[in-house]
Structure 1
Amino acid sequence: MAFEALSENLNNTGEKTQEYVETTAEYYKLRLFKSSMKFATSLISMLVLGSVALLLLSFMSFGVALYLSRIIGYPSSGFFVIGGFFLVVFLFTYFFGRKMIVKTILEKFSELIVEEDDTSPSDIANERAKSKKTKGTP
């Protein structure tokens, strides 16, 4: 009788272990899908907004360059002034802003991947075990 009970407990343990592994695998698949979708939508959103901002900046720069050319009196002088301005902005960004840009991007995307409200597989397994005990399932 004790051997049968031990055998049954071992079978139940094997089944529970297999169920836990399958549940954990499903959890990580869903979490990977969620993270990749958040990353993809965020990336697409940034690309669209960046494209619109680039178009806006291009047209504004072109207009200011034409206006400066008219004020200075030489046809290409406004374009050189605007080009020089963007060169200075680029150099400042390259030498002083790279670390800040990398830090901001890493923080943004790590927030998308790691969330505080995510439950771990062990929490899910514990909740399932509690719910089965309350239902009377051995």
Structure 2
Amino acid sequence: MAFEKLTNSIQDLNDNIRALGHSSAEYYKLDLYKKIIRGVIFIVNMMLIGFICLIALLFLSIAVAITIGEAIGIPSAGYYIVGAFYLLILIFIWVFGKDYIRKIILIKSSRTFFND
């Protein structure tokens, strides 16, 4: 009689531990899914904003190149000057901005994934 109660209690404990393990696994699956979706949404938003800014920058660059070309009197010179300006910015970012950009990405991604 006492052994039956003990056996039943151990069986109930075993069932409860299995249920807890299953619930914990499901919770962590949902939590991981939530964090992945947040990251994907963040990346998609940044890509969309970046694309729109890139289009705006393209039109502004063309306008500036035309204005510079008209001011100098050589239409193609404006485009070369704007292209050289962007090339200098690219070199500057490549040389000095790698660590800064990496730091920003790590901070933003850690906020997205680890803060609820």
- Three-state SS of the structure 2 residue aligned to 1:85 is helix
TM-score normalised by the chain length of structure 1: 0.80
Alignment of structure 1 residues 37-116 onto 2, 5 Å: 37-115=37-115
Aligned position for 1:16: 16
CA-CA distance at 1:37 after TM superposition: 1.2
CA distance in 2, matches of 1:75, 1:89: 22
2:36 is aligned with 1:30: no
Q: Which amino acid aligns with 2:94?
A: Y
Structure 1 residues without counterparts, runs of 5 or longer: 118-138
CA distance in 2, matches of 1:22, 1:67: 67
CA-CA distance at 1:12 after TM superposition: 1.2
CA-CA distance at 1:36 after TM superposition: 1.4
Q: Which amino acid aligns with 1:3?
A: F
CA-CA distance at 1:110 after TM superposition: 1.4
TM-score normalised by the chain length of structure 2: 0.95
Count of residues paired in the alignment = 116
- Three-state SS of the structure 1 residue aligned to 2:75 is coil
Q: Which amino acid aligns with 1:84?
A: A
RMSD of aligned alpha carbons: 1.0
CA-CA distance at 1:2 after TM superposition: 2.3
CA distance in 1, matches of 2:15, 2:28: 20
CA-CA distance at 1:17 after TM superposition: 0.9
CA distance in 1, matches of 2:4, 2:78: 92
Q: Which 4+ stretches in 1 moved above 2 angstroms?
A: none
Q: Which amino acid aligns with 1:97?
A: G
